A and B are shown apart, each in its own frame.
Chain A
């Protein structure tokens, strides 16, 4: 019994050996429009695995192993594939390929060990190519470069500080707690994208570390290294990723070497940044002073005002702190090449970008080596190594309490007639209006995060057997992400607030270390049943995550010293360790009936040490089907060249937060003794992961030889067992226990329409419109209605009630008709998003592209206005729009005045995200100038966040003082203003 299949295998292998060339096809491949030859285009004999690629001049030679006519499939990245017949009588081919407007031929990674052609895909998977991602302008972080490029992705910037800080929500909300960010996989490595603590909120008194305004660590990845990003938006596409895929999966693939001549590419960007939007501050008058200040201080205020008038020294502090020009420098070098055995891609990147607030900025140094090597013809090793060193200085903005360590608060409370600038003797005036002199904090405060990171991936592909009709291969892959983040927040002893403390001078030193490792092994068997091509996969996944953080604080510092030992009060502020182990098994079967009907069935089982029962497997099935109607013989419309209805279903889960099962005794120190205190949260030893199921269906249409394409998708994503804290009666001395009760429903539409509007010899205009919309409803809460997030009902908070979206913003005055008892003032969820991107190629070598991003609806809780109103500095504060004698700043609409509704404001915007204009100098000219040394020169100019149109009365409608959050991600408190970035670019290829 055992021998029979083995003998079959042997026979099949032997049959390869006897194949011999019967005739040879030669020819050339070029671009239809420009006539330029295509290097590396692939030619494949249809139905087999043999083929070749074109050389540097676009030429190819392909031996055909029999004497019959065969079909060749010719493809090249970015071009539509074509199929041509050849026969012993037709052996010379001059092939032209058309640029692919719709990317139908690109290969999309859909499984853990498989991929599928976009035209056969049953899900709306978005792919963002390097060209789309970084082709127009230079963006600091990879997530920032995704704005408007992925239908279904709501991307939010937490603020304008350099070095990132973005959150991505794919298809609404999957989790009620935490950040709920997509799983990010870079070259197969499950990377750490957490928002790491910096300690700023502890020093400034803002509160928890979610108010640190830290970067998410995707910021470390050099966007220019990325070949493409695939976004699996929901469970139907991401089911095979199991437990960590509830919020979607973002698969990042970096560039790799190609066979051929070694190329060296050197790019330099020089740019500058300015604030995108400033609000202005209100002027003062004697009348306003008399109104604003109490009797006791009026005389002094008037005296200060008159002195300022006499010397004409009024200071617009917003302008002073925020309106600075920052220098942006980026240098990149790529070296790539290889032969048929070994290919390599080596890159280096130096980013040095200042912020618009003094002494802030982001520096990143990255080195990458991606190497592929064929150990034997049947065994291929790929390694990707990336070392990153980044240093981020984000300054002092955002929330604070009492410490004054936030510029925005000082701007809000300091009138423009009081001069806070440095005295001639080097000291700083004491700020009588707030706890701190922000000029001194900006000049001397430090808030730095320095990351050393190593990301290493490997893959091993082993062809176990390979025939014309079958192949069996094993794929072993794995990797690690080691990250060390050293943070330092420092406020020197002579600052106003520090000198008001018993122990002046504050240093907060953090060390965070994380190690993610993953290992995956799979067997892939490709075979045929009649006319159906079958691809079967089976494999396992192992994931381990370790984190350790240690924060120390020193107060009462020796002047000028930052070493913890130079502090009068030395404190271990916190230490935290976590370890997570997960394992999974997956099976997947793909069936393809002649590219006409494509079906997939899959299942994954996962277990995790985070769960109440670490040895319980949870199953995540998936099924999908796509029908390419236009590929059937009966279809003969020349207008509609692709018509593909598709449907997909899948299930995923979101992990249980670490520690949910524990009921700890905390450590506490009092009077020199160590005590144990009973925690205020009880662990839930029966906790299970929160799960989501999604049904997605849609249709893809290609028109006029796929010159235009339409992708329309509707999804229903339901989540179950959503984890949230059940509030216990606090009179029992415990406040919460995690529960698995809630259920959410997200429903949405995604539309993409793209096409080549003009295609002539001297102009090619490609345009794309994406539209997406999501609605959320809490279908089951399971626990009593509650309010959470923000700063309470007086300033706007969120309603968690059945039948409402958890993004609903409520606040005073009371409204008994609404569950929770307060008036509904807004919803954080946008009504819809729409993006419009264009790229226009003119004549030879000129390219113009731009991207417009429109977000309609969605409200923010604008507490920056609240602060400015409190300090009398809001632009127009003393005006009286309704003429009732009460100035605007003391009477904000809606009526009845001065309730929470005044701070909940529409955050709609239109942003021109990217504009780029490039010129590629013609090859002939370069040859004239440099002979053969230089292969290509490209020059250009671009802008990022070029323009913003909004009625929102804040710096940027995109802001989140609490960082990335599933729900409360729209609270605006004195953020770092967003920058407009303008660049000049030069790229040289050797």
Chain B
């Protein structure tokens, strides 16, 4: 379970998160929507400790992410992350991209890591690309590679930071399908997304962020059909 309490985050003098309270239960799929600059991506970075926070707390399975004594590298193994810009490692093959972290972070043997990598690449439909370098993959394939790489650490949670925003329109579908597959398998997911169809169809809850505040959270039917906040309604009217 992820418990966020009174989270405040500043970049210099600019406050990007203004006191967020949010619980995400195991097995839940939460979509986070909102305009650019609303703080939704920053929220993800605060959850896995890639950004320090100024106030409040983030507790993952009972461990305070931002506490001094926390072994953040160990905790991050529970929190897989997929980025907008894919971030495949260009100097490694698809297989090596996925096998590296299990090997050096978890201490798996070469053979074990290879097995894991092959399994996860099959999982995302890239089993014919094992020895291909990322430069020879399409954006959609690279993003699926990034998903496989995160899954190889056997995380409890998956954080998606606008996983489809940088993709050509015709490649969005394959990545969303992979994310749907994970949701069906029961993965706990927090998806920062601009894909309203995905948010509506796949998530258990949808949160709307506006200027650093979580304006509204609820089941998709409520957010998309019957939003109480004027900001939410306006945003949704504009993206449709």
A binds B: no
Residues of chain B at the chain A interface (Cβ within 8 Å): none
Residues of chain A at the chain B interface (Cβ within 8 Å): none
